[in-house]
Amino acid sequence: MIERYLEDLDALKKSFIEMADMARKIINDAMEALMERDKEKAKATYEFDRLIDLKEIEIEERCIRILALYSPEATDLRFVVSILKSIVDLERVGDLARDICETALYLAEVPPIKPYVDLPRMLKIVSEMLKDSIMALLRGDVELAKEVIDKDDIVDSFYDRLFNELIEMAKESPETADVAVRLILVVKSLERVGDHATNVAEYAIYYKTGDVVKHKKAQEYLKKLKEKTEKGE
């Protein structure tokens, strides 16, 4: 019984790693298709999202099987729950990549309005966040998870800067507005990928410590809000 349990846990980890690799691949391929104006790659990457959806179903079934057959406790239970939550975020990364592919197909047909300088840098950060958040979860590495969470502020700063730059460009040259808006959506998609990586990192902390980071953030926000209310701000 114990041997089979350990085998099932190991199979779950392997499937999760496969899905994580797929999520990193699809977001990188989608952005490459956009920046290289490669319509064929955009189409192929768009279809790849279906494989991620199937992998999510497979992992969900593995988790349910482990919970039903073995009733894991403590750390093992938190690990399975963290995997269940994380695959939702990885599946959404696939959805975001698919959205980028749709934009890539459109942008390949129109003249570019600016060189892609910051997009590759932003992509590199979110891709690293995805990789490190997965490693943090698999290893139960709280410090690595915190590093991922801290990087989300960098991604947000990229988004703010590019958003403002593209808005100004659209104001100064109205003929570029449509392309600018579509690029803003791409930047927003990358920012959301960073959010999903942050979620996985938070699940890594939950797995290792039992702490629910989101609840702590909510409590801190409510505390600050209460203090402002009492001060009449």
CA-to-CA distance for 123 and 130, rounded, in angstroms?
Answer: 11
With a cut of 60, say whether residue 42 has pLDDT above it: yes
CA-to-CA distance for 79 and 183, rounded, in angstroms?
Answer: 37
With a cut of 50, say whether residue 185 has pLDDT above it: yes
Q: Which CATH number fits domain 2-215: 3.40.50.2000, 3.40.50.720, 1.20.58.220, 3.30.420.40?
A: 1.20.58.220
The pLDDT value given to residue 212: 85
Question: Which amino acid is present at 56?
Answer: E
Query: Where does the pLDDT of residue 135 fall: very low under 50, low under 70, confident under 90, or very high at 90 and above?
Result: very high
With a cut of 90, say whether residue 156 has pLDDT above it: yes
The arithmetic mean of pLDDT across residues 183-210, rounded, is 96
The pLDDT value given to residue 114: 79
Helices and strands in the chain: count of H runs, count of E runs: 7, 0
Domain limits of the chain? 2-215
Structure tokens, 42: 């955009």
The pLDDT value given to residue 221: 44
Structure tokens, 139: 């290893």
Structure tokens, 81: 């729950």
The pLDDT value given to residue 41: 97
